[in-house]
C-alpha cells in the first residue's frame, strides 16, 4: 500500500543542541535503513521549511503507524498521511 506522508518538524529551542544533533543523527540512520528496505520509497525536502514529503510502501496502516511512531523526531513532528491509489490514466503501474 502506498502512502504520501507530509512531515513538519518543530524541535523546541529549549532542547540542548547536542541532544537535537543526536536525535537528527538517529533519524537519518533510521530513514536510510527504511529506504534501503524499500519501505520509504521517496523522500523530498520542502523548500524553505523544516519539512518533507515522502512516499511509503508498506503492507498496512498499522505498519505505517509503527514505522512513523518509531522515528526519533516523531515527538517533534506534525504528520499528515494520505493513502494513495492507482490513477486510471497513469502509464506506470504501481
Cα–Cα dist 86/52, whole Å: 22
- CA 9 – CA 19 distance, rounded (Å): 15
pLDDT in tens, 30-83: 999 999 999 999 999 999 999 999 999 999 999 999 999 999 999 999 999 999
Mean pLDDT of 3-26: 98
Give the per-residue pLDDT at 93. 72
Measured CA to CA, the distance from residue 94 to residue 86 in angstroms comes to 7
pTM, two decimal places: 0.92
* pLDDT at residue number 94: 60
Question: Mind listing the domains of the chain with CATH numbers?
Answer: 2-84 (3.30.70.1060)
> And the C-alpha cell for 28?
537519518
**Residue tagged 505505517 (cell numbers):** 64
The DSSP code for 75 is G
Amino acid at each position: 500500500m502506498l502512502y504520501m506522508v507530509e512531515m513538519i518538524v518543530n524541535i523546541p529551542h529549549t532542547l540542548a543542541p547536542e541532544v537535537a544533533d543526536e536525535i537528527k543523527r538517529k533519524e537519518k540512520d533510521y530513514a536510510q535503513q527504511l529506504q534501503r528496505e524499500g519501505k520509504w520509497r521517496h523522500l523530498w525536502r520542502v523548500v524553505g521549511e523544516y519539512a518533507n514529503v515522502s512516499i511509503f510502501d508498506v503492507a498496512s496502516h498499522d505498519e505505517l503507524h509503527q514505522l512513523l511512531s518509531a522515528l526519533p523526531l516523531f515527538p517533534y513532528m506534525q504528520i499528515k498521511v494520505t493513502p494513495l491509489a492507482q490513477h486510471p490514466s497513469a502509464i506506470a503501474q504501481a
